[in-house]
Amino acid sequence: MSKIIATKAIRGAHKLVARAEKELAEALKKHGADKNVEFPNTGYYLPISHGILGMNINKTGQLTELLQEAQKLLHPVPDEKHWVPYLGHTLDAGMATLFADEIIESLKYLQDPLPYVVGENCPEEGNFWLGAADDIIMRKRGVEFVDGSAPGFAACVGVCPSTEIAVKIARELQEKNLYVFLAAGNPTGSASGGNGTRSMADQLREAGVQMGWETRLVPLGNDSTAAIHAVGFATRAALAFGGVKPGDYQRILKYNKNRIFAFVLAFGEVDDEKHAQAAGVINYGFPAISETDIGQILPTGVCTYEHVVSPVPADKMIAKAIEVRGLKLHIAKIPIPVSYGAAFEGERIRGEDTYVEMGGNKTPAFEFVTTKDANEVTDNKIEIIGPEITDIKEGTILPIAIVAEVAGRKMQADFEPILERRLHNFINEAQGVFHMGQREIIWIRISKEAQAKGFKLAHIGTIIHAQFHNEFGAIVDKVQVKIYTKEADVLKMREVARAVYNKRDERVGSMTDESTDTFYSCALCQSFAPTHICVVSPERTGLCGSYNWFTCKAAFEINPRGANQPVPKGDVIDALKGQWQGCNEFIYQSSRKAFASMSAYSIMNEPMTSCGCFECIAAVLPGANGVMTVSREFAGMTPSGMKFSTLAGTVGGGQQIPGFVGHGKRYIVSKKFILAEGGIKRLVWLPKILKEELKDLINKRAAEEGVPKLLDMIADETTATTEEEVIAHLQKTGHPALTMPSIIG
């Protein structure tokens, strides 16, 4: 145990607790004890105090109790008389620091103007600090920690030796698909002409690097206390997905050590406050790697291996951190001249930054996966039929057809759309390449920067070849890619593709739950919600909306021991509610015997459990005799009296709550949507954004039910924000729910 680290960490904790005391006193004097205090749009109060201590803080006066808890954990700053050669006092100081941080950061949200930007992405100019993530962001990003596309996160504090090194480190972390939380700048000093701070995030902004949740480079705040938002994110993951109860600090800390693979990278000077922050995250099992020589804390059992390692050269810090954290990465190095990883999927390419553009309703463009006999496919054969990027001028708009021909002993035509849909992800993960849409509505841009590095259309084929083998190796043996860029060729091939698209739609559209004796499970979210299990049928997708019956069937073929397993329906128990003996037996075993039965088509009688990754939440509005459904994108208040974040906290975590159910968007237009309660005719409120997105499908489904004007009868936030207003809208429009039997029986 390093005496230097202990001294600085405990001294830093004293400083931060004193600062919290001072700022809280000022806030109480200005606002009083009853001022609301929160991290906006979160359902877990202040997450550290709520998770670790079980406190439900929502008023300024309650912060006094949290301050007292922090003060209790402070020990004298070590000197020759006060020195203990073990970690306990330092860990106490670290936890005191986290409590102090939470006080300081929560009070920042009382400032006018706010020091933080509300949203997922950073504005291109001005303030770019994002602060605390709301519940919508956390749940949206949480699925990436479930399926392994985000193996962990790095918290970067301080300022790198140069802007070039900052960019290099950020790109390397992105390529490893890690989230990067940026906080705690270093003092600029008089040499910089001021007494401000400068951080790695400032360096990335100066280099023109896009930051925000979509690119996984998340600037939390320039203050050392802003690092609390990374720890809060981890705490909320345990509460939301791990089934951990508030106040069960041991399980929260163990959950993070075992499930959330995070570490700290400290650049430049590490002052007392940063030492204290490092001591705080050690409690969570997160080690710190420092570029500066600050001593070391060797294994004690709190972290997996070493707790603090220094000094480590900047170019070796990431590798060392991954080693020390025990993080296992599975990344195939794809031979293309630009960086590659899921972090680049949200990258935007503006028109002025574009070298070549394809599709986007400007030229014919489509993508298509088709199965061939093995003797017709030469693995890794990539053909460009027409102009390549090297043959065109900047600003050209090309037609394009991307045709991937695959062969495999286990490959089936049913799997083609599964592979085809993943092209969007695979192509988008190349830095400097933008992809949108699917089938014949794709839009691709390649940036000037990517072209300057040597990226060509042939590299799209390289990506497809590599990722089809990586992701679908169990069913795909050979992959060849043909890319057409002459309009006549594109139009000719498009007719071939359209004929196949139509056959697929007819096949999917004709499938019903009654047409198969086997459903499929999805347990991808069980690591976060241990008692949850999705049962995916032809007429009900998984809650995330991403996994349908065909997807699960393909996934089972790819990995028979994976998260997607066949579920024999067995004898019918209740066809209206959607209960079968085989499904119930599967639910009982797969939910760890928490639930004996599940109704696939009911919201009132033993509905499907909800994980936390659902696209939508449906809730009964008893007075309106119907149900409302709210999607993740809608941040406003719903007629249930709860926002999406609050509903998610109520329903998620693998619970089965009559009157509430999570679901995918497309389930709304399924013939099996809450069939037991009367189906789509029970739908009385939707956010406008979801109404617009599903407009055509809702109209089609409503016409089938004999109410062609149902869409206009359904209220939204422009006509109703309370249940009483919903009822008034239903009466005005003559909504059928008013004349149906009582939904609550």
Domain 513-739, CATH: 3.40.1470.10
Whether 332 has a pLDDT exceeding 60, the answer reads no
CA gap 238, 51 in Å, rounded: 9
Torsion of CA 193, 197, 203, 206, to 10 degrees: -60
Q: Bridge-partner residues for 185, per DSSP?
A: none
Count of other CB atoms within 10 angstroms of residue 509: 9
Entry pTM: 0.62
> Tokens 């028109």 label which residue?
351
Count of other CB atoms within 10 angstroms of residue 458: 16
DSSP helix/strand/coil, 656: coil
Q: Bridge-partner residues for 180, per DSSP?
A: 154, 217
E strands, 291-417, in order: 308-309, 354-359, 365-371, 382-385, 396-398, 400-407
Tokens describing residue 665: 């968007």
In angstroms, the first-to-last Cα distance of the chain is 65
Whether 273 has a pLDDT exceeding 90, the answer reads yes
296-300, 475-479, 618-622: which has the highest mean pLDDT? Answer: 618-622
Count of other CB atoms within 10 angstroms of residue 406: 26
The answer to whether the peptide bond before residue 311 is cis (omega within 30 degrees of 0) is: yes
Closest alpha carbon to 530 in 611, 629, 599: 611
Q: Which residues have a Cβ under 8 Å from the Cβ of 560 and sit 6 or more positions away?
A: none
Q: pLDDT tens-digit profile of 482-522?
A: 999 999 999 999 999 989 887 776 666 678 999 999 999 98
Q: pLDDT tens-digit profile of 369-427?
A: 999 988 798 888 999 999 999 999 999 999 999 999 998 878 888 788 888 888 988 99
Q: Bridge-partner residues for 264, per DSSP?
A: 155, 288
- Per the CB < 8 A criterion, the answer to whether 612 and 543 are in contact is no
- Per the CB < 8 A criterion, the answer to whether 743 and 626 are in contact is yes
Closest alpha carbon to 228 in 88, 104, 114, 128: 104
- Per the CB < 8 A criterion, the answer to whether 684 and 726 are in contact is yes
DSSP assignments along 341-364, one per residue: SGGGTT----GGGEEEEEETTSS-
Secondary structure, 3-state, 599-650: ECCCCCCCECCECCCCCEEEEEEHHHCEEEEEECCCCCECCCCCEHHHHHHH
CA gap 532, 591 in Å, rounded: 6
CA gap 526, 647 in Å, rounded: 20
Tokens describing residue 409: 């002993």
For the ranges 523-527, 535-539, 545-549, 621-625, the lowest mean pLDDT is seen at 523-527
Domain 342-510, CATH: 3.30.1650.10
> Do 3-325 and 513-739 fold alike per CATH?
no
Angle at 400 between CA 398 and CA 402, to 5 degrees: 155
Architecture of domain 3-325: 3-Layer(aba) Sandwich (3.40)
CA gap 422, 510 in Å, rounded: 24
Count of other CB atoms within 10 angstroms of residue 475: 20
Query: What integer pLDDT is reported at residue 192 of this predicted model?
Result: 33
Angle at 500 between CA 497 and CA 504, to 5 degrees: 135
45, burial (CB in 10 Å: exposed 0-12, middle 13-18, buried 19+): buried
* Residues written for the chain: 745
Closest alpha carbon to 600 in 616, 578, 619: 578
Q: pLDDT tens-digit profile of 462-486?
A: 999 999 988 888 788 889 999 999 9
> How large is the C-alpha radius of gyration of the chain?
27
Cα-flanking dihedrals φ and ψ of residue 480, to 5°?
-130, 150
More confident residue, 84 or 475: 475
CA gap 261, 280 in Å, rounded: 16
CA gap 334, 340 in Å, rounded: 7
Whether 83 has a pLDDT exceeding 90, the answer reads no
Tokens describing residue 113: 């103007």
Domain borders along the chain are 3-325, 342-510, 513-739
Q: What percent of the chain has pLDDT above 90?
A: 67
CA gap 530, 653 in Å, rounded: 8
Count of other CB atoms within 10 angstroms of residue 426: 22
Q: Find the helix packing angle between 135-146 and 228-241, rounded to 10°.
A: 70
> Tokens 């620091």 label which residue?
97
Q: How many CA atoms lie within 13 A of 513 on its CB side?
A: 27
Query: What integer pLDDT is reported at residue 677 of this predicted model?
Result: 97
Tokens describing residue 122: 């950073």
pLDDT band at 328 (very low <50, low <70, confident <90, very high): low
Whether 190 has a pLDDT exceeding 50, the answer reads no
Distance from chain centroid for Cα 192? 38
Q: pLDDT tens-digit profile of 205-248?
A: 999 999 999 999 999 999 999 999 999 999 988 887 777 899 99
In the sheet with 396-398, reading across from the earlier edge strand, the strands are 396-398, 354-359, 443-447, 433-436
CA gap 544, 20 in Å, rounded: 41
